[in-house]
């Protein structure tokens, strides 16, 4: 056999072209994507001549195609391609061709390609859509949740008493502060090792405001050792405002809030030392905690202090539950601000979110029943993926 491939062999090895090439803008996207589909070549089968399909694209110039360049490929057996390569501009029209490609090697091992082009398709322009139609369920859920929140905020502002489940840890705040007052000992408030960009620390500052008001009323010394400078500044402002709110601005001292160290275990050691020396009657642990949680809580437990903890760190909750008298579990920490302040906006928001969760839970239970008995696939209403 000759080392070169003859013209007759070239004609024989060229695959049949792809047909019926169609182009369309991709639905439900932010633009920059065009879908190309075609009818597979008649030679596209197992052992056939088609090895892949090459996608060619040309920009439209005065309504006519410019120079075609390759933008991607699709394996044999697959008759579609999405031009989501980031190079499609929404203000440019394009023409496309699909090239069926076969590959052969001669006796010398030289690689040759045999191609056949489809008819040209286009022009087509990609456009962004305002709304993702597959996520109507998300829109409905968001509107329903917003309705509940707005409705209950209005109800709270109108003076209607909203039922909020009792949180044992928050119910015990008055008792814990009163105990320290009776014993004539300090209250320690530990806001964790998170900075002010952490939601748990922000929630801890809200609870600190309530504790500070009570301690100012009862003239009980509140000690707040912190490990972040921004937390120190914020906590001082919270305490200053709380003392002013109850008419005791003179009782506030800057050294009520003091900085120890940024080091995690250095901070834990420093706080433990304060516990052992000062022997407070009450200790609050509110915020973000890691491995230092049990070290702190065990030390507080060993000196007989009443301890109230709260965190949204799942790995640390068991330690607080074991070593503290009361523990705010997960979202109870965030609900505590509404629970303590009774501010209408916070209460309405909390109640509205609870109603939204109730609707989701009811939908889950209903869906399980309907799908179990083959009545209706309710899960389809919650799908956002084709």
Query: Sign of torsion, CA 337 339 341 343?
Result: positive
Residue 302 resides in a domain: yes
Separation CA 215–CA 176 (nearest Å): 10
Note whether 308 and 178 are same-domain residues: yes
Note whether 182 and 285 are same-domain residues: yes
Domain end marker among 309, 324, 339: 324
Note whether 310 and 198 are same-domain residues: yes
Q: Is 25 exposed, middle or buried (0-12, 13-18, 19+ CB in 10 A)?
A: middle
Note whether 184 and 301 are same-domain residues: yes
Q: Which among 107, 120, 113 has a CA at the least distance from the CA of 13?
A: 113
Note whether 96 and 178 are same-domain residues: no
Residue 287 resides in a domain: yes
Residue 34 resides in a domain: yes
Give this prediction's pTM.
0.66
Contact 189, 223 (CB under 8 A): yes
Note whether 120 and 180 are same-domain residues: no
Could you give the C-alpha distances from 63 to 93, 122, 148, 286, in angstroms and in order? 8, 10, 53, 67
Residue 101 resides in a domain: yes
Structure tokens at 375: 């009545």
Domain end marker among 124, 143, 160: 124
Residue 364 resides in a domain: no
Residue 379 resides in a domain: no
CA 352 to chain centre: 20
Total number of domains constituting the chain:
2
State the DSSP string of 338-353.
Answer: HHHH--HHHHHHHHHH
Note whether 312 and 181 are same-domain residues: yes
CA 289 to chain centre: 20
Note whether 204 and 319 are same-domain residues: yes
Torsion of CA 32, 33, 34, 38, to 10 degrees: 160
Note whether 181 and 290 are same-domain residues: yes
Residue 130 resides in a domain: no
Note whether 196 and 112 are same-domain residues: no
CATH of the domain at 15: 2.60.40.10
- Please give the chain's pLDDT, 386 residues, in tens: 444 455 555 557 888 999 999 998 888 888 888 899 999 998 888 888 898 999 999 998 888 888 998 888 889 889 888 876 556 788 889 999 999 999 887 777 788 888 888 999 889 888 888 888 878 888 888 899 999 999 999 998 888 888 888 888 888 888 999 999 999 999 999 999 999 999 999 999 989 999 999 999 999 999 999 999 999 999 999 999 999 999 999 999 999 999 999 999 999 999 999 999 999 999 999 999 999 999 999 999 999 999 999 999 999 999 999 999 999 998 888 888 787 777 788 888 888 988 998 988 998 898 888 888 888 777 777 665 55
Residue 351 resides in a domain: no
**Which residues constitute the domain of residue 292?**
173-324
Q: Is 120 exposed, middle or buried (0-12, 13-18, 19+ CB in 10 A)?
A: middle
**Residues 342-351, buried b or exposed e (16+ Cβ, 10 A)?**
eebebbbbbb
Note whether 110 and 181 are same-domain residues: no
CATH of the domain at 300: 3.40.50.150
Contact 184, 219 (CB under 8 A): no
Note whether 205 and 97 are same-domain residues: no
Domain end marker among 283, 306, 324: 324
């Amino acid at each position: 056999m000759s080392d070169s491939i003859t013209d007759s062999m070239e004609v024989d090895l060229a695959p049949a072209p792809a047909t019926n090439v169609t182009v369309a803008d991709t639905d439900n996207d932010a633009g920059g994507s065009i879908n190309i589909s075609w009818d597979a070549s008649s030679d596209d089968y197992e052992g056939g001549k088609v090895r892949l399909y090459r996608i060619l694209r040309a920009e439209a110039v005065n309504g006519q195609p410019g120079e075609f360049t390759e933008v991607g490929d699709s394996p044999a057996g697959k008759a579609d391609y999405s031009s989501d390569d980031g190079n499609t501009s929404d203000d440019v029209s394009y023409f496309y061709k699909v090239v069926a490609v076969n590959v052969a090697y001669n006796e010398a091992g030289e690689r040759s390609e045999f191609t056949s082009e489809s008819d040209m398709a286009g022009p087509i322009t990609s456009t962004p859509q305002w709304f993702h139609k597959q996520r109507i369920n998300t829109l409905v859920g968001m509107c329903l949740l917003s309705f509940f929140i707005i409705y209950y905020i209005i109800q709270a502002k109108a003076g209607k008493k909203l039922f909020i489940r009792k949180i044992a840890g928050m119910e015990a705040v008055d008792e814990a502060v009163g105990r320290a007052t009776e014993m004539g000992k300090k209250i320690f408030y530990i806001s964790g090792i998170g900075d002010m960009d952490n939601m748990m620390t922000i929630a801890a500052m809200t609870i600190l405001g309530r504790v500070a008001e009570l301690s100012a009323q009862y003239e009980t010394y509140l000690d707040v050792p912190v490990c972040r400078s921004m937390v120190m500044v914020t906590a001082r402002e919270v305490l200053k405002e709380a003392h002013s709110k109850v008419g005791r601005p003179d009782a506030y001292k800057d050294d009520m809030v003091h900085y120890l160290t940024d080091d995690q275990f250095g901070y834990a050691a420093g706080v433990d030392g304060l516990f052992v020396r000062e022997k407070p009657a009450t200790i609050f642990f509110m915020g973000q905690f890691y491995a230092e949680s049990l070290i702190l809580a065990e030390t507080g437990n060993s000196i007989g202090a009443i301890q109230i903890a709260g965190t949204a760190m799942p790995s640390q909750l068991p330690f607080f539950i074991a070593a503290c008298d009361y523990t705010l579990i997960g979202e109870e920490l965030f609900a505590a601000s509404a629970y303590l302040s009774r501010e209408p906006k916070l209460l309405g928001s909390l109640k509205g979110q609870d109603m939204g969760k109730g609707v989701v839970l009811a939908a889950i239970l209903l869906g399980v029943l309907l799908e179990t008995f083959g009545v209706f696939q309710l899960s389809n209403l919650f799908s956002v993926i084709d």
